[in-house]
Chains A and B, each alone.
Chain A
């Protein structure tokens, strides 16, 4: 039986081919939801919708006016919004001392201000219709360490606490808000690094379950959080196979693993 039958879902950050947002959209469609996918690249969204279904909505998640327009358009087209997922992100790797004001501003705009305005836009819509489920895709690195990732990690952690704060305030209107923290996941954001022999060997040691995550793992957790079966709010689900129990490799670990892979290949 479809677990999201009759639900109206908005997923922002779904323009990248086979990224987390698209995996979530495909799963929601398979579970019977009506789906709106949003992002900056309209051509990519249109291509996805033509193949998978749903509707496409424009959004630049770094601008409040664009977020407001996306939420309003989606609510109008679908007749309301029961589920909203923020799967945007910018995986900047930059040493702390070299991170520029411009990079920090861009990161804050996407990963802290964007979610803040997204929640501001969604609360009146969902509150007015009796509730909903909002899902913020966070990161295991909002809890555990990773090298050269300070701007990313700090904004993800800030948004996790925002999720708790807003969940605390609007639960009584039937709105549940939670984060999901994946670990390293095979997505377009990580594809370049993952293609280097040895890199993923270093990461997988941090996973008690012996493999790193997939977009489909995240999508499955989204179905649970989005469904009426989930009586949970203000939480950060660690959908990362136990990574937080061990931790990410250090930069030196990764370099050693790459060197070993190169040596193996002779």
Chain B
């Protein structure tokens, strides 16, 4: 059976937790015939996820440009090409603006904005002529959420970066898009999902009536990664329609 990514080589950054979007994407891509290099800061954890899929693993911190370059080089050295690069690296940061420190703003910007910029740059350099770069945005970049200024604004900044990168890299036939997941049960949100009041408040704001799963996000990544998506510079909204409504405020978590 022909896979939808047969012969493609993909790098996925942010795949150290089996419950993560990165790991779900890796499972989906592997099932569709892609060769994978999985990466994360935690080398041992990502190696475990990779081993289960017959993929290779590499330590990589998105804020270190030399490590991103090395990650892309691994794809070229091992498989002779790089077709797909997916970035899920993220850092949680919350709290009212008036209480958010400069360090928190800097850390969110460093990972989500500077990191994404360097990721796109290094992956595109390795791709040469043709490829698909996908980076994780957020529901919170689409509907402005009180208490998430550092997180949401740094994600939204990266979305503008995606548009400019797409405009520039189109000439190399490299497509650049982001995926904005809704409130998704994953490694990063497990703490929130443990609270029924949070789940109730969010569910009221989701037209399709259920939370998005890491598999939903992986399916969207698969479409963007395949040769079937004549689309670039876009934020692909996998919020199940929540961007039509709103993000609940903390005082509604009762």
Residues of A within 8 A of B (CB): 1, 164, 167-172, 174, 176, 207-210, 213-214, 217, 220-221, 223-224, 229-235, 237-242, 244-246
Q: How far is the CB of B135 from chain A (nearest CB, A)?
A: 16
A245 touches B238 (CB 8 A): no
Compute the total of residue contacts between A and B using a CB distance below 8 Å. 113
B240 partner residues in chain A, CB cutoff 8 A = 171, 231-233
B230 touches A239 (CB 8 A): yes
Interface size on B, residues (CB 8 A): 36
A241 partner residues in chain B, CB cutoff 8 A = 170, 230-232
Q: Known contacts A210-B170, A232-B237, A242-B170: does B244 contact A168 (CB below 8 Å)?
A: yes
Q: How far is the CA of A176 from the CA of B175 in the complex (A)?
A: 26
Q: How far is the CA of A241 from the CA of B231 in the complex (A)?
A: 5
Q: How far is the CB of B47 from chain A (nearest CB, A)?
A: 29
B231 touches A221 (CB 8 A): yes
Q: Known contacts A221-B230, A235-B237: does B207 contact A168 (CB below 8 Å)?
A: yes
Q: How far is the CA of A174 from the CA of B228 in the complex (A)?
A: 25
Q: How far is the CA of A213 from the CA of B207 in the complex (A)?
A: 31
Q: How far is the CA of A105 from the CA of B14 in the complex (A)?
A: 53
Residues of B within 8 A of A (CB): 1, 163, 166-171, 173, 175, 206-209, 212-213, 216, 219-220, 222-223, 228-234, 236-238, 240-241, 243-245
Q: How far is the CB of A177 from chain B (nearest CB, A)?
A: 9
Q: How far is the CA of A233 from the CA of B171 in the complex (A)?
A: 31
Q: Tell me the nearest residue of chain B to A219, going by C-beta.
A: B228
Q: Known contacts A209-B170, A233-B240: does B208 contact A240 (CB below 8 Å)?
A: no
A242 touches B236 (CB 8 A): no
Q: How far is the CB of A128 from chain B (nearest CB, A)?
A: 17
B170 touches A167 (CB 8 A): no
Q: How far is the CB of B83 from chain A (nearest CB, A)?
A: 15
B170 touches A207 (CB 8 A): yes
Q: Known contacts A237-B234, A242-B232: does B244 contact A172 (CB below 8 Å)?
A: no
Q: How far is the CB of A207 from chain B (nearest CB, A)?
A: 7
Can you list 9 contacts pairing A with B, beta carbon distance less than 8 Å? A171-B241, A207-B170, A208-B166, A213-B230, A229-B223, A230-B223, A234-B243, A244-B233, A246-B167
Q: What would 15 more interface pairs be, CB under 8 Å, given A238-B231, A242-B167?
A: A167-B244, A168-B245, A171-B207, A172-B207, A174-B209, A208-B167, A221-B229, A221-B231, A231-B219, A232-B236, A233-B241, A237-B231, A238-B234, A242-B175, A245-B166
Q: How far is the CB of B223 from chain A (nearest CB, A)?
A: 5
A167 partner residues in chain B, CB cutoff 8 A = 207, 241, 244
B222 partner residues in chain A, CB cutoff 8 A = 229
Q: How far is the CB of A164 from chain B (nearest CB, A)?
A: 6
Among A1, A208, A244, the residue within 8 A (CB) of B170 is: A208
Q: How far is the CA of A223 from the CA of B175 in the complex (A)?
A: 19
Q: Tell me the nearest residue of chain B to A171, going by C-beta.
A: B207
A171 touches B209 (CB 8 A): yes
Q: How far is the CA of A114 from the CA of B57 in the complex (A)?
A: 53
A172 touches B209 (CB 8 A): yes
A170 partner residues in chain B, CB cutoff 8 A = 207
Q: Which 10 A-B pairs have the closest CB atoms?
A: A208-B170, A171-B207, A217-B230, A231-B216, A220-B228, A229-B219, A242-B232, A233-B241, A171-B208, A168-B244
B228 partner residues in chain A, CB cutoff 8 A = 220-221, 223-224
B231 partner residues in chain A, CB cutoff 8 A = 221, 237-242
B170 partner residues in chain A, CB cutoff 8 A = 207-210, 241-242
